Structures are given as structure tokens and as C-alpha cells.
Structure 1
Amino acid sequence: MSGTAIIAGEGGLPARLVAALAERGETCILAELDGFPADVSGVTPIRFRIERLALLLDDLAARGVTRVVFAGAIRRPRLDPELFDPRTATLVPRLLAAIGEGDDAALREVIAIFEDWEFEVVGAETLAPDLVPGAGLLAGTPGEADRRDAARAAEIVAGLGALDLGQGAVVAQGLCLAVETLPGTDAMLAFVALHAPRLRPDPAGARGVFYKAPKPSQDRRVDLPTLGPDTVRAAAAAGLAGIAWEASGVILLDPAAMVEAARAAGLFLWARER
């Protein structure tokens, strides 16, 4: 039996959290949403569907779970009305109403349902605080123009978040080159890599900053933005000067590898005070 369950999606975060628990001699239960496999070696997951969510919650409680953390990326799954069990069916009006209000509302309602089963829902930083660094420079040093671009990008991301859109933006020389929307960070940085040279007013000026932050009103126990070594490499390919993010508000999937990649590419990494 284990007191902790990780509700896992795609990406590297579930494996990092499993490893963090193992370092403390703790085990966990990994619950994997059908269609969104978690890449965690050595752990056999429980696979579940949203249509049978109540059965999952009952199962976790029976296994002695008291604490739950959500980790990894998922997209809205397609639901099959014929698969709903009677108890989960009673939750559908709550979920549909929340989904109609946007992603943040849907996630808050999911948290509320888990709490109705008396689970404590915690953020990833509770299990692995080193993955969510406080303010400071991890690599390189931003120049004054970079700092101005980061400040402008932070304003833009706050505006995006208020509309329940993306969590990132790229700004160069005061101009917004791209914002993060449904296709995600990789698509945004690929766009910048293709178009930034002609979008920057001064080819010899500041190269630009990728900034990431949580949405202003989101519940920070779930859906914190993440950065990893692949993000650093993509930012370098886009010709940017560095990456900045809101201190204590972004998960770094592999901080050591990110620093190594940033130093190799000559990029700065900056956890910026809000």
C-alpha cells in the first residue's frame, strides 16, 4: 500500500516525481489516463478512463491513498457515453459545466471531485521541491535589453492567462514575436526559428527572450508550466538569447541538463521575480 498516487499524463514529470519519492524510500501508485501513456520505467500503472472516474477514486481509497498529485500533459479525451458507470454519471453535469468555462475551471472541478473523496491534492513541488526553483540565475546573464524583453513578455503572458490561453511568449526588442496557444511551446519556438530573423527590427540588436509563467488565476497544484532540456535546445535553434520564467511558478524537468544545454548554447536561464 502507498499513501501517494500520481495521476499521470505524458512527458517527463511523472518519472521525475517517482524518482524523487524513491530517493526518500517512498513508493507510489501511478494512475495513467487511457490514451496518454506515462513513460515511467519499473512501475506498472493503473489505467483508467474518465467515464469510470468514480471507480478509480474508490480503488485509490481502498489502496490506502491519502495524497494525490497531478503530473504530465493530457488533452481533453473523447468521452464514450456508453462507458459511464452510474456513480461517474452523476459527476458529468459538474464536469461539463466546468469544461464550458475553460481549462482552468475544468481542472479546479477535477480537484474538487478528488477532494470530495477526501484525498489531499498537492502540487509537484511538494514531492520534488528542487524542480521548482526560486528566484535567481541558473546560467548566463541577461543584458538590460533582455531584461526589458522579459518584462514585456511577462505582461503579455499575464494577459494570455487572464483569457485562459497559453503560458508563454517570445519577445525581442520590445516586440512580441509569438505567443503560446494550443499547439504548445515546441510549435511556438519552431515558428520563431523560421520567422525571427525578418521580424526583429534590428538584426544586430537583442535576440529575444522566451518567457513562461502560470496563468494568474490557476490553481497551482495542477498544470504548472514546465521547461526541460528540449526547450533549451529549441530556444537556441530559434536564435534567442535566453529563457526566463516566473520564480517558484515553473517546473524544470531536469535542471542540471538544462544548465548544461544552456551553457553549451550560450543562453541564459533566469528564474525571474514576479
Structure 2
Amino acid sequence: MKKQTKPKHLGLIVGGGELPQQVAKLARQAGMMVYPVNLSGFAKTKSELSNGPWRSIGQIGGILEDLKDADVSQICFAGIVDRPNFSTLQLDEIGRQEMPRISTAAQQGDDALMRAVLSVFENAGFDIIGPDEIAASLLAPAGQLGTIEPNQQQIADMNKAAQIAKAVGQLDIGQGAIVCRGVVLAVEAQEGTDAMLRRCASLPKSMRGTRKEPAGVLVKTPKPGQEMRIDLPTIGVETVQRASEAGLAGIGFVTGQTFLLERKAMLAQADRLGLFLFGLNLQEIE
């Protein structure tokens, strides 16, 4: 008789957005047992994962205890978690021990902050894997997606926005930029992509495109040298909608390093709104 292999147990630290649900679904399809720990204030209160324990981000000891009780050895962080106000966090004992080091790292930038957080879990004996290792099927392919093809001006804007986003990322500021007719309209900082798009939409129409006459391109790239197991760029239906509201002509993203959520719906939305979607090769961004 063939010996049955025991399913791998995966601890999933659940932040906001759709990515955690997609990661959990694909992990289960791969034969993993998924044990979610939901982060209060970020994770969806009504989802297939919400029956797992809930912890605030300051309850580091509680999170570690939940994972150990679930007998997991591998963990994955998925979903949006905004930078907290460290002075108001409710901390447990382990949180109080670790927070001085974490808050000091936060002053060096988001990447240093994320590395400090991950080290807490690694030091506790957990193997951390990126969502891309589980959900590779969600990663962006190369070239044009959908039916809308960028013109020469839009390609030039996309290439410049990619260069700007890479430069901004090198300074650990953000992951995105918007360029319209050769002019930089916005770069992403702590406010995030959605807020950057809303800011762009508030600019005078003489500076940007409109829904009737779209112009300009948003490009999202990972930060050069960033911790790749957490915080890869993510694009979904809402990103497409906000880009259209800002009068943009399209969205560019890095092939193999950007999650495309609800891809079928996102492509349908982009085609309906007249936006192009394009996967860029990271090595070609100078």
C-alpha cells in the first residue's frame, strides 16, 4: 500500500484586499492545510478566512502562539497592512520586547521595517515563503493583455514612468509613478496607489487625460533590492477603475513580479473602459 503523505501546514498572516483569499485557495488546491491569522483593522471581517483567530499587529506573541498551536512550520504574509502609529499600538509581552527594534528599523524605510518584522518570525523557527511561491499563476505575464494596444506616446510615457518608479523605489519611497505626455504627474509614497490615483484625478484636466480622451500611464514596479517575500505590487479591478477616473490611458507592471487579482474581471473592465494593460521586462527598465 502506498504511504500517504501528510499535508503541509501553512500559516497565513492575513492583511487587507483580495490577495489572501486567492493565496489560500491556491494553497489548498496544492494540498496544503491553511491556518489563517487575521490582522485586525486590515483583514476582511467576512471571508472564508475570517473564522481564524484575530490579532492586532502589536500582538506578536499572540500571533506566534496561534501559529505554533496550529503546528505550522511555513508561514506566508499576504494582503495590505498600512504602516502603523507605533505610539498607539496595543502590545503584548513579545510585542513590547520586539517593538523598539522594529520601530527603529521603520525609520530607515518600509523595506527595513518589513525585514525586521520577518526576522521575528524567522527567529521563532518559522520558514517564510512569499505569496508568489504559492500563487505563481497570479503573476503578470509579458506584453499586452486585453484588446487595447498602447500607441507610441503611451509607450514612451510607460517607459518613463517605469524609470521614475524604479528610481523612487531605490530610495524606498514607493512602488509607482504616473507620466502623461512626458510629464511626471505623481509618484507613490506612503499614501499608496489608490490615493495617488485620486490625487492625479484632482489635477486640472489640462495636465492629464480624461475618460473621453485618455492620456498618461501608471506603472507599478517592485523596489530594487526589496524583500520579495512580502509587498509585491498588486493590481486589480479597483486599480483599473481608479486609473480610468484619473483619465489614464493604461497601466504598466513588471512581468513575474506583480500580482493581477481577479484577472478575468480586470481585463473585462480594462477593455470596457478603454485602458491598456502591459507587462514590462524588469531588465529593460534602465
Q: Same fold (TM over 0.5)?
A: yes
Amino acid at match of 1:70: F
How far 1:4 sits from its partner (Å)? Answer: 0.5
Q: CA–CA distance in 2 between the matches of 1:196 and 1:70? A: 39
Aligned to 2:17: 11
Equivalent position SS for 2:202: helix
Q: Deviations over 1:45-83 (max 9, x none)?
A: 211234331232133123211111111112233457895
After the TM superposition, which residues 135-214 of structure 1 pair with which residues of structure 2 at under 5 Å, given as runs?
A: 135-139=142-146, 140-195=148-203, 197-200=205-208, 207-214=215-222
Q: In 2 relative to 1, CA 243–115 (structure 1 residues): closer, same or farther, beyond 3 Å?
A: same
1:38 aligns to 2:30 (yes or no):
no
Q: CA–CA distance in 1 between the matches of 2:54 and 2:89? A: 18
Q: CA–CA distance in 2 between the matches of 1:52 and 1:187? A: 28
Q: CA–CA distance in 1 between the matches of 2:24 and 2:179? A: 35
Q: Deviations over 1:79-98 (max 9, x none)?
A: 57895444443323321221
Equivalent position SS for 1:94: helix
> Contact (CA 8 Å) 1:172, 1:206: kept in 2 or not?
no
Q: Structure 1 vs Structure 2: percent identity of aligned residues?
A: 35
The alignment of Structure 1 onto Structure 2 pairs a total of residues equal to: 272
Q: Deviations over 1:236-263 (max 9, x none)?
A: 2222211101111211111111111111
Q: CA–CA distance in 2 between the matches of 1:207 and 1:67? A: 44
> Contact (CA 8 Å) 2:10, 2:75: kept in 1 or not?
yes
Aligned to 2:263: 255
Amino acid at match of 1:166: G
Amino acid at match of 2:228: R
Segments of structure 1 that go 5 or more residues without pairing to the other structure are none
How far 1:146 sits from its partner (Å)? Answer: 1.4
Q: In 2 relative to 1, CA 254–246 (structure 1 residues): closer, same or farther, beyond 3 Å?
A: same
Q: CA–CA distance in 2 between the matches of 1:209 and 1:90? A: 44
Q: Deviations over 1:138-166 (max 9, x none)?
A: 12222222111111101111121122212
Aligned to 1:240: 248
Q: CA–CA distance in 1 between the matches of 2:259 and 2:91? A: 34
Segments of structure 2 that go 5 or more residues without pairing to the other structure are 1-6
> Contact (CA 8 Å) 1:2, 1:63: kept in 2 or not?
no
> Contact (CA 8 Å) 1:224, 1:249: kept in 2 or not?
yes
Q: CA–CA distance in 1 between the matches of 2:240 and 2:111? A: 27
1:106 aligns to 2:106 (yes or no):
no
Q: CA–CA distance in 2 between the matches of 1:33 and 1:169? A: 29
Q: In 2 relative to 1, CA 18–78 (structure 1 residues): closer, same or farther, beyond 3 Å?
A: same
Q: CA–CA distance in 1 between the matches of 2:96 and 2:268? A: 49
